[in-house]
């Protein structure tokens, strides 16, 4: 590796560490990676904040289904979900309505105007979490133990888990998703990092489309007009733009340099 790129590399690793230290992004335990706290209205109405875990949900559903068809935003708190929406069958209530079945069992219901003490303790607190439960940790490790491992994030190689058929996330829900003709999958391509000696990035359209369809990336995150037309830098990625919209928060984190910078230096 060229000397100059080594220096830049260290600067960037430094930047990523400073970035992590300056924000809430400490290294999370694997069962907390991708956990989102939603608290626009809960506490002000006397309810504990809501905790949503991606690992529980992404084993069953694609990102596209929730973030396009159901309509959740791509940053914590952005959706402004109200209890009334859930009761009417939108947002969490799309599935959590006491009727939709999953593995032949009805998925538990979400918010209600009137409820008993018993319902509060058995149902409300599943989402409106009073305190961290070790039960969820145990469930996580039981789930993760048979899946391919990774070093960072959830400690799970989700891409492999899906391609090996160990999980089969659903992309369509009846009554929620509109059946559309699938767009032709674009070819994979390499992105050249602007620093000599830094391995190129292989971007797989195919692997991303499994989870994200096309609409989650185009046109909001990537204009997608022509590759190379938009220039992005590693600093912007650390700031949560472009690839960083997903990588760091839900998809494997950016500390895993080699997972993106894979192509050998020529
Ligand atoms: C499937 C998950 C889920 C369950 C179960 C659930 N809620 Fe909610 N609830 C939410 C979400 C998400 C919000 C929005 C959180 C926020 O922004 O603060 C919310 C918000 C609320 C609010 C805030 C006021 C408002 O107008 O939005 C109240 C009150 C509430 N829920 C009551 C309840 C009660 C009572 C129960 C049990 C009968 C319950 N919820 C069960 C997900 C759930
Ligand atoms: C079951 C539905 C569901 C699925 C499946 C799902 N998400 Fe989410 N996602 C949510 C909700 C709900 C939020 C919180 C939105 C809010 O607070 O407004 C969220 C938030 C996010 C955020 C912002 C997190 C933060 O801390 O700011 C990102 C990034 C994200 N999702 C990416 C993904 C990716 C990538 C996938 C697929 C691997 C995925 N989601 C699958 C429902 C889902
Ligand atoms: C696309 C369908 C879908 C949507 C949308 C969805 N969930 Fe779920 N959720 C499920 C399924 C399926 C399970 C697992 C089956 C079960 O536990 O009943 C689950 C499980 C959970 C659990 C674990 C409960 C436990 O203790 O075992 C929580 C908590 C939860 N969801 C919260 C939420 C919140 C909060 C939202 C909205 C912000 C939401 N979910 C949106 C389908 C969904
Ligand atoms: C994870 C994000 C992501 C997903 C999902 C995705 N793309 Fe892209 N796409 C990109 C990126 C990154 C580029 C490079 C151009 C840019 O930076 O805007 C690109 C470029 C393109 C281009 C220009 C190709 C070229 O050679 O210049 C087309 C056309 C395109 N995408 C179509 C699609 C279609 C159709 C789908 C669904 C089948 C899809 N994309 C899914 C991220 C994505
Ligand atoms: C819309 C969300 C999203 C965006 C934006 C995104 N990714 Fe991903 N990416 C994912 C998900 C989900 C996976 C599956 C693995 C995981 O969740 O850890 C993945 C997997 C990968 C993988 C491993 C699979 C493979 O191809 O070998 C690489 C490498 C990768 N992404 C690179 C990138 C790069 C580079 C960009 C920006 C040009 C990008 N991603 C943008 C969501 C996203
Ligand atoms: C999610 C995928 C991903 C991960 C993980 C990742 N990078 Fe990058 N990196 C990129 C992309 C995309 C570019 C921009 C390439 C382009 O536009 O041609 C880039 C560019 C770079 C560049 C070129 C200079 C610049 O700022 O554009 C360097 C150096 C670099 N990355 C270092 C790192 C280091 C060090 C790590 C680990 C701490 C890392 N990268 C992790 C995707 C990634």
Distance between first and last Cα of the chain: 11
Residue nearest to atom 40 of ligand 5 (CA): 243
* Ramachandran area for residue 138 (φ above 0: left; ψ -120 to 50: alpha; else beta): alpha
Residues with CB under 6 A from ligand 6: 8-9, 12-13, 16, 191-195, 198, 201, 231-235, 237, 243, 247, 254-257, 259-261
CA of 60 to the centre of ligand 6 (A): 30
Q: Is 115 in the pocket of ligand 1 (CB under 6 A)?
A: yes
Residue 57 in this model has a pLDDT that exceeds 80:
yes
pLDDT tens digits, one per residue of 106-165: 999 999 999 999 999 999 999 999 998 899 999 999 999 999 999 999 999 999 999 999
Q: How many angstroms separate the CA atoms of 118 and 243, rounded?
A: 44
CA of 126 to the centre of ligand 1 (A): 10
Q: Average pLDDT, stretch 66-82? A: 97
Q: How many angstroms separate the CA atoms of 134 and 5, rounded?
A: 44
pLDDT at 181: 79
Q: Average pLDDT, stretch 36-47? A: 97
Residue nearest to atom 36 of ligand 6 (CA): 257
In testing the pocket of ligand 2, which one of 32, 53, 66 has its CB within 8 Å of the most ligand atoms?
A: 66
pLDDT at 2: 47
* Ramachandran area for residue 13 (φ above 0: left; ψ -120 to 50: alpha; else beta): alpha
Residue 250 in this model has a pLDDT that exceeds 50:
yes
């Amino acid at each position: 590796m060229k000397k100059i790129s080594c220096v830049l590399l260290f600067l960037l690793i430094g930047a990523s560490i400073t970035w992590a230290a300056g924000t809430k992004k400490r290294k999370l335990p694997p069962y907390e990676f991708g956990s989102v706290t939603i608290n626009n209205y809960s506490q002000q109405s006397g309810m504990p904040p809501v905790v949503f875990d991606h690992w529980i949900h992404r084993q069953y559903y694609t990102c596209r289904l929730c973030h396009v068809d159901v309509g959740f935003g791509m940053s914590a708190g952005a959706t402004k979900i109200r209890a009334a929406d859930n009761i009417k069958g939108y947002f969490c209530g799309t599935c959590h309505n006491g009727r939709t079945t999953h593995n032949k069992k009805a998925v538990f219901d979400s918010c209600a105007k009137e409820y008993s003490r018993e319902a509060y303790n058995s149902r409300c607190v599943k989402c409106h979490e009073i305190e961290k439960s070790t039960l969820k940790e145990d469930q996580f490790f039981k789930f993760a133990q048979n899946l391919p491992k990774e070093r960072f994030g959830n400690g799970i190689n989700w891409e492999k888990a899906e391609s090996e058929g160990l999980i089969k996330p659903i992309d369509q829900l009846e009554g929620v998703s509109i059946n559309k003709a699938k767009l032709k999958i674009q070819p994979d391509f390499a992105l050249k990092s602007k620093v000599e000696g830094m391995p190129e990035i292989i971007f797989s359209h195919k692997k991303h489309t499994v989870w994200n369809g096309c609409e989650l990336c185009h046109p909001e995150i990537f204009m997608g007009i022509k590759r190379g037309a938009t220039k992005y830098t590693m600093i912007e990625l650390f700031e949560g733009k472009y690839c960083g919209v997903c990588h760091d928060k839900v998809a494997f984190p950016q500390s895993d340099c080699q997972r993106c910078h894979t192509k050998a230096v020529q």
